[in-house]
Amino acid sequence: EVQLVESGGGLIRPGGSLRLSCAASGFTVSSTYMSWVRQAPGKGLDWVSVIYSGGSTYYADSVKGRFTISRDNSKNTLYLQMNSLRAEDTAVYYCARHEQPNGYDAFDIWGQGTMVTVSS
Amino acid sequence: DIQMTQSPSSLSASVGDRVTITCRASQRISTYLNWYQQKPGKAPKLLIYAASSLQSGVPSRFSGSGSGTDFTLTISSLQPEDFAAYYCQQSYSSPRTFGQGTKVEI
């Protein structure tokens, strides 16, 4: 079964760091694009970061310089290292797989989400 | 960044109703438009990609149309399990951006 399972969320103080994990099964994370998408409480969806199959990485301006996306091919796991956390980073964080049928691109598989709360 | 604007933000409907949600892009995006459904406390689910292609396993009462800047998601006959939030998302350029969502309520 194709599946993504996130972990690592929790309560963290402003300025702190947290690392989220996203374990994949049923496919290989290094063979496709993988993204992190977040959703603040009661709000909409907000793309955070992507890692391409070739290893290139890109970030939303709001997290650039603070967050780092990476993957461990041996563990088939995606990561999001979050540093210098702010209250506005409070959200449910989802990892998502990109499907690219016929040149298009969509998030076809999502994890269940992990909650990150930044508060003193 | 490409801005995506959905309307309405919420709507009330009954089982069996035909429901239409619109999404407008701030610039032309051809048919690089996806639709997702999200139920409370759950992850989003892909419904439609490339503006009108139905994702595998999605009921045929869902359909999408449009190109350029204006797009539509239609539910032909609303079912109890369709009460949820719906989001459009452009895949024309980075960063990928979403609409603000449309909540379909009873």
Residue-wise pLDDT for B29-75, tens only, equals 999 999 999 999 999 999 999 999 999 999 999 999 999 999 999 99
Q: Which residues of B fall within a CB distance of 8 Å from A45?
A: 36, 38, 44, 87, 89, 98, 101
A111 CB within 8 Å of a chain B CB: yes
Interchain CB distance below 8 Å, A107 and B46: yes
Shortest CB distance from B96 goes to which of A47, A104, A113? Answer: A47
Interface A–B counts its CB contacts (< 8 A) at 63
Q: What is the pLDDT along chain A (120 residues), one digit of tens a residue?
A: 999 999 999 999 999 999 999 999 999 999 999 999 999 999 999 999 999 999 999 999 999 999 999 999 999 999 999 999 999 999 999 999 999 878 889 999 999 999 999 999
Q: Which residues of A fall within a CB distance of 8 Å from B95?
A: 47, 58, 60-61
pLDDT, residue B1, reads 94
pLDDT surpassing 90 at residue B106: no
- Candidates B36, B54, B52; CA nearest to B97 is B36
Shortest CB distance from A106 goes to which of B91, B94, B95? Answer: B91
pLDDT, residue A102, reads 80
Shortest CB distance from A104 goes to which of B43, B44, B49? Answer: B49
A104 CB within 8 Å of a chain B CB: yes
Interchain CB distance below 8 Å, A113 and B43: yes
Each as own residue / partner, the long-range contacts of residues A70-77 (CB below 8 Å, 24 or more positions apart, any chain) are A71/A29, A71/A30, A71/A34, A73/A28, A73/A29, A73/A30, A75/A23, A76/A23, A76/A24, A76/A25, A76/A28, A76/A29, A76/A30, A77/A21, A77/A22, A77/A23, A77/A24, A77/A29
Q: What are phi and psi of A31, to 5 degrees?
A: -95, 0
Closest residue in chain A to residue B40, using alpha carbons only: A42
A108 CB within 8 Å of a chain B CB: yes
Closest residue in chain A to residue B44, using alpha carbons only: A110
Across all residues in chain B, what is the average pLDDT? Answer: 97
